Amino acid sequence: MPAIRFTSVSKLYPHHNGRMLLRDRILHQIRKPKKMFAALQDVNLEIERGEGIALVGHNGAGKSTMLSLTAGLTNATTGLVEVAGSVA
């Protein structure tokens, strides 16, 4: 079994234009935003125990999002993230 497995993982974030007023933030939480930003889209990945990898890409490529999903800091919008054991 792989140490880390991403199966059809996608992560969407609400898209907004820059800074928001407090009133807009509250409304943003209540209403579903119309525009969504896809940080990751249908990612499949397996990393075996003992393997080392490097995430390389331009700004906005989803590197930090992948790390957040792996560490369990955030959940995937769709798909499955499996982590066997601890991640360092």
Compute mean pLDDT per 10 residues along the chain, 88 residues long, and list them: 94 77 75 79 93 90 93 95 86
> To the nearest 10°, the Cα dihedral for 71, 68, 10, 5?
-30
Where do runs of H (alpha helix) occur along the chain? 22-30, 63-71
> Pairing mode, if any, of strands 4-14 and 78-83?
antiparallel
pLDDT of residue 76: 96
pLDDT of residue 35: 80
Q: Where are the beta strands (DSSP E) in 1-88?
A: 4-14, 36-47, 78-83
